[in-house]
Structure 1
């Protein structure tokens, strides 16, 4: 369990670094966010594969909220693109 805690801690710190890079490297924001979501998924898989029940921490909740926000922004962006394409098919341009 100690190894799991260490790995989760390292992944958590890596996720924090990715968030801070978004502000300093805005032109790579999309790539950084995709990496963030992928690392979060790996972290969740480690937790699920844990032989003992894992007690979620405040950090886990914060990371989960960040990932949810990133996914919602991406969903909204794709929805906007789809709606724009549908309007253009109808001959309406924005």
Structure 2
């Protein structure tokens, strides 16, 4: 009779332990899923900023090339308009890098 009682107690403890392990596993999976969602958001934000910066660089590059191709400035390589464009790009990249820190 004592052995049957102990077996019943042990079986109950096993079931409680299994339920506890499953509950902890579920909590872990939910936390991992939430972290994955947050990482995806950060990655999307990074890609958006990267695309915006690439667009700015492309615009400035085309603008500078337009200024360089002017016959008057072929030997100088860049005029005041081109310098202004480069300075604006530098300022925007510094602002972007300090915003993300």
TM bin, normalised by shorter chain, reads: 0.3 to 0.5
TM-score by length of 1: 0.38
User: Highest Rg: 1 or 2?
Assistant: 2
Q: TM-score, normalised by structure 2?
A: 0.35
If each structure's helix is expressed as a fraction of its own residues, which one has the higher value?
A: 2
